[in-house]
Amino acid sequence: MNVVETELPGVLLIEPKVFGDERGFFVESFQSERYAAAGVPGPWVQDNHSRSARGVLRGLHYQLKFPQGKLVRCSRGSVFDVAVDVRQGSPTFGRSYGAILDDVDHRQLWIPPGFAHGFCVVSDDADFEYKCTELYHPDDDYGVAWNDPALKIEWPIEEAATVLSPKDAGLPRLSEMNSDFLPQYG
C-alpha cells in the first residue's frame, strides 16, 4: 500500500494494492500491523456502514469527550470525503482536506481524533464504511456547517442538490462555535 501525507498533519490518504483481472478484484482493506506501521493506530472498537443516494451529504461531525479516529472508505459508488481540523490551537485550525473515495481505486482516508468529518455522494448511490477507535456516544456528537465559507471546502455538488438531515442543516459555522465545544490541540 502507498500512504500519502496530506497538508493536514496526521490525516493520511491510503492507496491499497488492488489486484484485478477478468474475474474481478481483490484488495486488503485492513491489516493491523501494516496500518499501525503506516501511522494508523487502533484499537478498533466499532465498524459502521451507511448507504446513501446521490447528493446526500453527511457531516461535518466530531466528538469531544470521546473523540473517534476514523479509517473511512467507499466500498460501492463514489463519495467526496472531507476532514477538517477543528482542534483549538492547531497550526492548521479551520483547514480542510478532501478526496474522492470510490470502489475503483479503493483509497481510504485516516482521520485522527479531533478532526471533523463528512462526505457527500457523487455517484447514484454509495456504500460508505469506516472503522472507529472509540464507541459512538450520541450525547457527544458535535458538528460544523458543511458550507461554512471559512473552511473553503470545494464540494463537487451544487448546494441546491444537497440532501441533509435536519441536524446537519442546522450546524453552526466554526466562528460561531463556543470554544468549550471544540477539541484542544496537543
- Each residue of 123-180: pLDDT tens digit? 999 999 999 999 999 999 999 999 999 999 999 998 888 999 999 999 999 999 999 9
Mean pLDDT of 35-47: 94
Report the SS3 class of residue 118: strand
Contact 68, 136 (CB under 8 A): yes
CB burial of 52-61 (b: ≥16 within 10 Å; e: otherwise) equals bebebbbbbb
Among 35, 62, 130, 142, the active-site one is 130
- pTM here is 0.95
Report whether pLDDT(62) > 90: yes
Active site residue 62: no
Among 61, 62, 97, 106, the active-site one is 61
Report the SS3 class of residue 122: coil
CA within 13 Å, CB half, 90: 21
* pLDDT band of 41, cuts 50, 70, 90: confident
Contact 169, 71 (CB under 8 A): no
Mean pLDDT of 69-86: 98
- Residue 56: which residues within 8 A CB-CB, separation 6 or more? 120, 121, 162, 163
* pLDDT band of 186, cuts 50, 70, 90: confident
Q: Is 111 exposed, middle or buried (0-12, 13-18, 19+ CB in 10 A)?
A: buried
Mean pLDDT of the chain: 96
Active site residue 61: yes
Domains of the chain: 2-181 (2.60.120.10)
Q: Report the alpha-carbon distance of residue 22 to residue 53 in Å, rounded.
A: 28
Per-residue confidence (pLDDT) for residue 161, from 0 to 100: 87
Report whether pLDDT(42) > 90: no
Picking from 170, 175, 119, 164, the residue whose alpha carbon sits closest to that of residue 142 is 170
Read off the amino acid at residue 72: V
Residues in the chain: 186
Q: Report the alpha-carbon distance of residue 84 to residue 78 in Å, rounded.
A: 20
